[in-house]
């Protein structure tokens, strides 16, 4: 299949070259002597050819250049694919068409498999199904309620998993301390959906990082101003922790969240009332927490396997906190999910927005 993809790509490059030569000949015939072909078209076709060349190289690189399939070294595991130029800088319509074809080729199974191997994954992650047109109906389990929880009171639902039969799990990342650009690159190359729950005191020195993550399709959600244990605070202090961060996130990312995760998973009835007053609809906790070297199972998920709709937690951290980094976390999660037949989906796709 890789050979066919390469052959198809080389044919496309050849057609682009022949088209360029034909256009050059027409320009010489139609224009005055010495008239040059427009630079934008030449530049566009050259860039598009480079796109395809890079993709062919990624798809057909010799196997010894890829990360080992078993127990790769840290350097090999963390080797990322070469950057591939996008189509945003291509100026001509023919170049954009070539770039679009290149993008389709990049997403071909053989190429996705090659990209996954170069990130150190055992196989390409499974693609999630299309988002449901009818969102699941959420309810707060009895064990997660804090006092009266009548639907008419407008309190947000507290959940640890989404009620769905789709074989999907949801990756959520908390805090915002470590801002590793290599994580963004991995998310982009592997097309991994994530939801970021941000604490202002940790994210405020780098909201540009999270705007870039948003532009990759990530969800942006609320994790308080300063990461306190909320049940220790009076109602008004809790409300400020949540509502002020709503304002920060709307200002910094253009998104006003509908989801809020309390630090340490700690909340009381006042927390839910405060969250509701700030426009929060859902309080997603978690079922599993993933680290570079292990996965911990919580809240009734003790069989060591994912279940449909599980919400998975990790944190924006790096070697200062862990023996590894976010790429190791993502690699562990994706390998386990794929082996168990699960895809990673976007939590926001399954939550009904107001």
Q: What is the mean pLDDT of each run of 10 residues along the chain (354 residues)?
A: 44 47 47 42 46 46 38 41 42 55 60 91 95 95 84 87 97 97 96 97 97 96 98 98 98 96 97 97 96 85 84 95 94 97 98 81
pLDDT at residue 109 in the model? 75
Structural domain of 337: 142-350
Q: Flag whether 136 is in a domain.
A: no
Q: Which residue has the tokens 């780098």?
A: 206
pLDDT at position 341 is 97
CA distances from 156 to 13, 221, 243, 354 (A): 54, 14, 14, 12
Same domain, residue pair 241 and 323: yes
Are 154 and 105 members of one domain?
no
Of the candidates 291, 299, 351, the residue with the CA atom closest to the CA atom of residue 315:
291
What are the residues facing 170 on neighbouring strands?
A: 311, 345
Residue 337: which CATH number? Answer: 3.20.20.370
* Pair (81, 202) in one structural domain: no
How many domains are contained in the chain? 2
Question: CA distances (Å), 223 to each of 86, 228, 238, 239, in order?
Answer: 33, 10, 12, 12
218, part of any domain: yes
Q: Let me know if residue 161 belongs to a domain.
A: yes
Flag whether 137 is in a domain. no
Residue 86 to residues 44, 49, 187, 211, Cα–Cα distance (Å) = 11, 12, 16, 19
Predicted pLDDT at 152: 67
CB atoms within 10 A of CB 71: 7
CB 312 within 8 A of CB 289: yes
Task: Retrieve residue 165's tokens.
Answer: 């039969």
Q: Are residues 74 and 221 in the same domain?
A: no
CA gap 336, 172 in Å, rounded: 16
| Cα–Cα distance measured from residue 45 to residue 192, given in angstroms and rounded to the nearest whole number | 30
Residue 127 lies in a domain: no
**Which of 333-348 are b and which e, b meaning 16 or more Cβ less than 10 Å from the residue's Cβ?**
bbbbbbeeebbbbbbb
User: Is residue 70 domain-resident?
Assistant: yes
- 39 lies in the same domain as 112: yes
Assigned domain for 135 exists: no
100 and 146 co-located in one domain: no
Tell whether 200 and 282 lie within a shared domain. Answer: yes
Beta strand 157-159 with 295-297 is unpaired
Same-domain pairing of 109 and 154: no
- Within this chain, do residues 148 and 109 fall inside the same structural domain, yes or no? no
Q: Is residue 176 part of a domain?
A: yes
Does residue 158 share a domain with residue 223?
A: yes
Shared-domain flag, residues 58 and 186? no
Do 275 and 156 contact (CB within 8 A), yes or no? Answer: yes
Number of H helices, E strands in the chain: 11, 9
In a 13 Å sphere around the CA of 353, the CA atoms on its Cβ side amount to 10
Domain identity same for 111 and 190:
no
Question: Where do runs of H (alpha helix) occur along the chain?
Answer: 2-30, 39-60, 74-77, 93-106, 109-118, 181-190, 200-203, 207-215, 235-253, 269-277, 326-339
How high is the pLDDT of residue 95?
60
């Amino acid at each position: 299949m890789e050979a066919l993809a390469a052959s198809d790509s080389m044919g496309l490059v050849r057609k682009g070259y022949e088209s360029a030569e034909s256009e050059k000949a027409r320009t010489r015939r139609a224009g005055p002597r010495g008239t040059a072909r427009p630079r934008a078209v030449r530049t566009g076709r050259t860039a598009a050819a480079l796109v395809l060349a890079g993709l062919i190289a990624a798809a057909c690189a010799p196997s010894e250049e890829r990360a080992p399939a078993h127990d790769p070294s840290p350097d090999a595991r963390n080797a990322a694919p070469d950057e591939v130029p996008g189509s945003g800088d291509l100026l001509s319509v023919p170049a954009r068409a070539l770039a679009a074809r290149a993008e389709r080729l990049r997403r071909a199974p053989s190429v996705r498999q090659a990209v996954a191997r170069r990130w150190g994954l055992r196989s390409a992650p499974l693609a999630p199904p299309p988002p449901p047109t009818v969102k699941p109906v959420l309810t707060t389990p009895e064990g997660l309620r804090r006092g009266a929880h009548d639907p008419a009171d407008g309190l947000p639902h507290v959940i640890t998993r989404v009620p769905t039969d789709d074989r999907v799990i949801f990756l959520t990342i908390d805090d915002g301390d470590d801002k590793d650009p290599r994580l963004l690159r991995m998310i982009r190359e592997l097309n991994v959906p994530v939801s970021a729950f941000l604490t202002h005191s940790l994210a405020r020195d780098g909201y540009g990082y999270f705007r870039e993550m948003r532009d990759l399709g990530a969800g942006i959600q609320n994790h308080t101003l300063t990461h306190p244990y909320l049940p220790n605070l009076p109602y008004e202090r809790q409300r400020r922790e949540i509502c002020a961060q709503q304002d920060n996130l709307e200002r910094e990312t253009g998104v006003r969240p509908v989801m809020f995760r309390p630090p340490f998973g700690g909340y009381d009835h006042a927390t839910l009332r405060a969250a509701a007053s700030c426009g929060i609809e859902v309080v997603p906790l978690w079922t599993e927490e993933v680290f570079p070297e292990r996965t911990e199972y919580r809240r009734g998920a003790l069989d060591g396997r994912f279940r449909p709709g599980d919400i998975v937690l990790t944190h924006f951290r790096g070697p200062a906190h862990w023996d590894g980094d976010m790429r190791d976390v993502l690699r562990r999660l994706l390998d386990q999910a794929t082996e168990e037949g699960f895809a990673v989906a976007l939590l926001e796709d399954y939550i009904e927005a107001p």
